Structure 1
Amino acid sequence: MTMFARRVETFGTTIFTEINVLAQQYNALNLGQGKPDFDTPADIVAELVRAAQSGQHNQYAPGPGIASLRHAVAEHAARFYGLDIDPDRGVIVTAGATEGLLSCMLGLVNPGDEVIVIEPFYDSYVPNILMAGGTPVFVPLHPPTWTFDPDELRAAFSARTRVLILNSPHNPTGRVFTREELSLIAELCIEHNVIVINDEVYEHLTLGGSSYLPIATLPGMFERTVTVSSSGKTFSATGWKIGWAYGHPAVLDGVARAHQFTIFAVHHPSQEAVAYALRQPDSYYQEFQAMYEAKKRLLMSSLEGSGLSYRAPEGTYFIMADFSPVFDGMPRDFTHHLIKEIGVACIPPESMYSQEHVHIGRNYVRFSFCKSDEALLQAKPLLARLAR
């Protein structure tokens, strides 16, 4: 007799766990998981310590999140995007973006509803949809430009479509969707009365002069968009697991109802520190982008001469590289070869595709450059061995 429920029978070990274990086993340079190998800024860490030692923030936080963080999220949305968010009814603090996304699915999707997913996708999207009883409908991005076909997008909508998940800047491709692309998505969502769950965790990681445009700012979209983000990427604090969802109170209500019975409340002292972090001056965000521009160039330099081909990312801290010039096989095969024979770890994207479309990404793997400069430089002579 199997001991697990049917809803989880297709859920295996995540690819990130698999690759991290293998990289450790072979002592490989890990350019796989999007986990910085450098620390959160010292003043933000000091604020966490202060909160924990104050004697006032070590018990349950309010379920929707502490007032100071909810106000900081609303101020941040107004400051960067001109959005008017109600901090009391329009913001929920979550256990990272991942729990925020699950609460969105549980609170907005009914059994039998269809959810449009743009491929390749962050690996929790589809399990979340399935746990909510929904049906994923896939729209692929096509390499090497990683753009969607407008006709394929239109065809994905039906009378059963309830939600579309949008991620921009996009993990793993590094695309930042244009106003034209977002306007088509918005037009179709309005026409079919569809809610958008907008995953913007890389909102401050735009590169090469690209600009991030939240879909909630487009006409008619604020009332039908839940925006999910987190502190993990912007403040190099992935271990804190402090995220948030915001939007119009009417569309956020279902998310709040689910959130209160999944996690209820998240780590109190960390919320105090993230409220402080979100109010960093403009110079912080400018220096953050400049740091990643430099890291992007280091990884691109290390990829030169390796035989791998790639397109410079417009956002995130990932580069998708085509390995077909140097290896004949599937991405997971190449990843194992790279770890065992070359000494570098990356992420194969098979788990980020439906079975129907996995062939589209069959020549690609994802490298992460949220690593120390030393690690990115160390990759160059290792990757050069591929070409030889």
Structure 2
Amino acid sequence: MPSFPAPLVSRLPEVGTTVFTVMSRLAQECGAINLSQGFPDFSAEDVLFERVAYWMRSGHNQYAPMAGMPALRAAIAAKVQDLYGASYDPEHEITVTAGATQALFTAVAALVHPGDEVIVFEPVYDSYVPAITLQGGVVRRARLAAPDYRPDWDAVQALVTPRTRMIMINTPHNPTGTVWSAADLQRLAEITRGTGIVVMADEVYEHIVFDGARHESAARYPELAERSVIVSSFGKTYHVTGWKVGYVLAPQALMAEFRKVHQFNVFTVNTPVQLALADYMADAGRHLRLAAFYQEKRDFFRRGLAATRFELLPCAGTYFQTARYTAIADLPDTDFVEWLTREVGVAAIPLSAFFGDGRDEKVIRFCFAKRDETLEAAFERLGRFC
């Protein structure tokens, strides 16, 4: 008798379709206004598209260098130097990636070994834990408590063991909109001092920080920068999430390991888009004006929901607004967002999707990266039912 392989056993048995896909599909089926998935419904400037077309027509349509086009890496280095006073060598310490999610996955794959412990802050973005699990890592969860979702550093310190390989941070934070302070980064530096812990810093909303605060990048702090892999996203900054282009900053030793994996799971990223982004970055105002642009939208969104019974939680950054709905319904948050989508016609994300144990705090997340007319239509629907 021929032998057959053993039955397939899933490496991610508890993982289904991401909640963002589920809610966007439901919104489409119901004709609801989609304030769930985090993407704008407005476009970038035409000049950016024109630069892409220019480089395509100029014949730059073959593979880019594995680490990214030199012009784009140089532009990234200049931006980081100007904003954070940090010097990164474009040749050895900057890599262009196929979006931030790929960058995060590649960093975990390169640096986390079976049995290594990785600390994440919960509610946690949904791609982190599967990446750790696939490498055989052990997830340790530090809880961010409502309503301000600030880190408890004593609790983080208690999670650190000799097996801790990585701490994954995210500021400004998705889904809560919390922005970490200089004191937070300094405490993280203290906790990791004298250890081999790598800091994985997800900073994709680095330019969306409100009320005059500054983004506290890990790059600002030399003690952290020397152990950090920092991820950012052109999609979030320039309203082109579908292009899936991001980048990573890391000291040379960490970047060498990152690139060993990157060259086999992606190899390289869209050449004419990279060249267009390098051109577009020449005007620093395009990212420096982003905070004011989104602060206007945040304030507009909060004013629009003021007449409803939603309790709006603090939003210091990102383009997400969290809200507690206990004055409207006593449903579990997953049931509430389904009702909101089907009956009210507005889609949101349940915060329980960001907790490993499905913790339900009766809080949901809206995305306000939408045109004013989209948000006004959502206000009208929410005002009638909520």
Name the TM-score, length of structure 2 as normaliser: 0.96
> Which residue matches 2:313?
311
**Number of residue pairs aligned between Structure 1 and Structure 2:** 382
User: What are the within-5 Å matches in structure 2 for residues 1-388 of structure 1?
Assistant: 5-55=9-59, 57-282=60-285, 284-355=286-357, 358-359=358-359, 361-387=360-386
Indicate the SS of the match to 2:289. Answer: helix
Q: Distance in 2 between matches of 1:267 and 1:78?
A: 25
Contact 2:228/2:250 (<8 A) preserved: yes
Sort the Cα spacing of 1:237 and 1:196 in 2 relative to 1 into closer, same or farther, 3 A.
Answer: same
1:218 Cα deviation after fit:
1.8
Deviation at 1:197, TM superposition (A): 0.7
Offset at residue 350 of structure 1 (A): 2.1
Determine the C-alpha separation between the residues in 1 that align with 2:175 and 2:167: 18
Residue 219 of structure 1: how far off its partner (Å): 4.1
> Deviations along 1:122-157, whole A, 9 cap, x unmatched?
111111111121111100110011112222111111
Provide the C-alpha distance between the structure 2 equivalents of 1:207 and 1:2, rounded to a whole number of angstroms. 54
Tell me the distance in 2 between the aligned counterparts of 1:163 and 1:150.
Answer: 15
Deviations 1:258-277 (A, max 9, x none): 10110111111111111122
**Residue identity matched to 1:311:** L
Could you give the per-residue CA deviations for residues 255-305 of structure 1, whole angstroms, max 9, x where no partner exists? 1111011011111111111112222233x2343222211111121122212
**Range with bigger deviation, 290-299 or 237-246:** 290-299
Q: What secondary structure sits across from 2:179 in the alignment?
A: coil
* 3-state SS, counterpart of residue 227 of structure 1: strand
Cα distance in structure 2, aligned partners of 1:32 and 1:3 = 37
Distance 1:101 1:307 in 2: 37
Q: Is the contact made by 1:307 and 1:386 (CA closer than 8 Å) also made in structure 2?
A: no
Tell me how far 1:382 sits from its aligned partner. 1.2
Using the TM superposition, give the Cα deviation of residue 107 of structure 1 relative to its aligned residue in structure 2, in angstroms: 0.6
Q: Is the 8 A contact 1:157 1:192 kept in 2?
A: no
Q: Secondary structure at the match of 2:11?
A: helix
Which consecutive residues of structure 1, in runs of 5 or more, have no partner in the other structure? none
Equivalent pair of 2:207/2:288 in contact (CA under 8 Å): no
Q: TM-score when scaled to structure 1?
A: 0.95
Task: Extract unaligned runs of 5+ from structure 2.
Answer: none
Q: Separation in 2 of the partners of 1:351 and 1:288?
A: 28
Output one character per residue of 1:158-217: Cα deviation in whole Å (capped at 9) or x when no partner. 111000111101111111101111111111112433110111100000112221111232
Is the 2:140–2:159 contact (alpha carbons within 8 Å) kept by the matching residues of 1?
yes
Residues 367-376 or 207-216, more deviating: 207-216
Name the stretch that deviates more: 243-252 or 287-296.
287-296
Tell me the SS of whatever aligns to 1:212. coil
Paired residue type of 2:351: P
Query: SS state of the match for residue 58, structure 1?
Result: coil
What RMSD over aligned residues (CA atoms) do the two structures have, in Å?
A: 1.5
TM-superposed CA distance for 1:5, in Å, is 4.7
Shift of residue 4 of structure 1? Answer: 5.0
How far apart are the structure 2 equivalents of 1:38 and 1:7?
38
What is the CA distance between 1:2 and its match in structure 2?
9.0
Q: Work out the CA distance in 2 between the residues paired with 1:4 and 1:77.
A: 46
The whole-number CA distance in structure 2 between the counterparts of 1:9 and 1:43 is 45
Q: How far apart, CA to CA, are the structure 1 residues paired with 2:100 and 2:246?
A: 5
Does the Cα contact within 8 Å between 2:61 and 2:271 map onto a contact in 1?
yes
Aligned-partner SS, 1:220: helix
Pick closer, same or farther for the CA change 1:292–1:383 going to 2, 3 Å: same
- Counterparts of 1:372 and 1:217, CA distance in 2: 33
Q: What is the DSSP-based 3-state SS (H/G/I as helix, E as strand, rest coil) of the residue aligned with 2:350?
A: coil
Matched residues in 2 for 1:194 and 1:241: separation? Answer: 28
Structure 1 residues 324, 192: closer, same or farther in 2, change over 3 A? farther
In the alignment, residue 381 of structure 1 is paired with which amino acid?
E
